[in-house]
Amino acid sequence: MKKSLFLSIILFFLMFFSSAAQAHPAYSGTKRTIETESREKITFTRWYGDGILSIDPVKLLVQRVGERGEENVFETDYGREVAVFCQNKEKCFIFLYNNDILSVFPSEIDQLEIKENIKATELKNIEIDTWLKFCGIVMPFIENPPGYLLHITCLFLAIMLFFFGRRQIIQKQYTGAGFRFFYGALALLLWIAAIIWGRFFLPLLLALTLIAALLFAAALYCLYRQKKIDSFLGAADGIVYFFGGLLALSMLLAFIGLIISVLMKMTMGTRPNMPLLFAVTGIPAIILYCLYHYKKKKKKTEPPASPSDQPPA
């Protein structure tokens, strides 16, 4: 009996992971188009392969758009990330990054020289000088600024929420500490997931997070010196706590939306309109959350009533 149960569990996990690791065909991503001096168009398209259990590798496909449609000019190898920077209409640099999340510099830089005759266009592998090294460091951020800003915020929130949660424990405010640790854990989990399954590079994320933290501290210090806030740490705690709760609410709404999408797919064979679903449920929830914190802050800042304002007994 125990042996058959053990075999059943093994078969279940084998079926689960085999379905999760199911291969899929290559698919295209974002496309960018430039027009040459001869008024011909060249497109740069991101193509994704099958990464099985890891992130899907990406390559750049360069095509010429002509009367017969799109004609392939060349394509790069697959990597963790690929970016393109066009200095002008005749010269572009293509940055290819390997699968190491600890990468700082691109593993390969190619220079695309666009000729008047597209068929004569050349791709050269060039030496990496100081200027190209700097470009290669920041190009992943330029390629995906919303993703980097989101996960910079997640790491910063996680660190600050754990710090203020510890302060709350020292002050024996255990409820507030619990919320801060919970929000911080969610932010940290989201950041770790981005490192494992996203196209992010750890050194760049850490450097940008440090810069963001310094700018945040400098802005609060300026407000404190101008006496627009009473407490430096108090203001920082309030801002971090607000955005930590907003992140937790957003993750909850995304999870509810995922459940609704799966249930509709299983029962009705179709998926909901996710932007419409967010507009109906997510936006009102976020507005109510902001109003709640606004009223809470306003209540704290209201001065206590003086004895003369109270009605006579």
The pLDDT value recorded for residue 189 is: 92
Instruction: Name the DSSP letter for residue 228.
Output: S
Radius of gyration (Cα) for the chain, nearest Å?
26
Q: Pick from 94, 214, 201, 212: which is nearest to 147 by CA?
A: 201
**Residues found in the chain:** 313
pTM for the full model? Answer: 0.74
Report the pLDDT value the prediction gives residue 207, as an integer from 0 to 100.
92
CA–CA separation, 157 vs 152, rounded Å?
Answer: 9
What are the DSSP E strand ranges found in the chain?
A: 27-35, 41-48, 58-66, 69-75, 81-86, 91-97, 108-113, 122-125
Q: Which amino acid is at 84?
A: V
CA distance 33 to 63: 9
Per-residue pLDDT of the chain (313 residues; tens, 9 = 90+): 445 544 444 444 444 444 444 556 667 677 788 777 767 788 888 888 876 666 788 888 888 876 666 777 788 888 888 888 887 777 888 888 887 788 788 888 888 777 665 555 556 666 667 788 888 889 889 888 888 998 899 999 999 999 999 999 998 899 989 999 999 999 999 899 888 888 888 889 999 999 999 999 999 989 888 888 888 888 888 889 898 988 888 888 888 887 887 787 778 777 777 777 777 777 888 888 888 877 777 666 655 555 555 555 4
- Number of Cβ atoms within 10 Å of the Cβ of 127: 6
- Structure confidence at residue 166 (pLDDT): 92
Which tokens belong to 1? 């009996």
In one-letter notation, the amino acid at residue 208 is L
Both structure tokens of 86: 């066009």
Q: Give tens-digit pLDDT for 196-228.
A: 888 888 889 999 999 999 999 999 989 888 888
Cα Dmax for the chain: 96
pLDDT of residue 98: 84
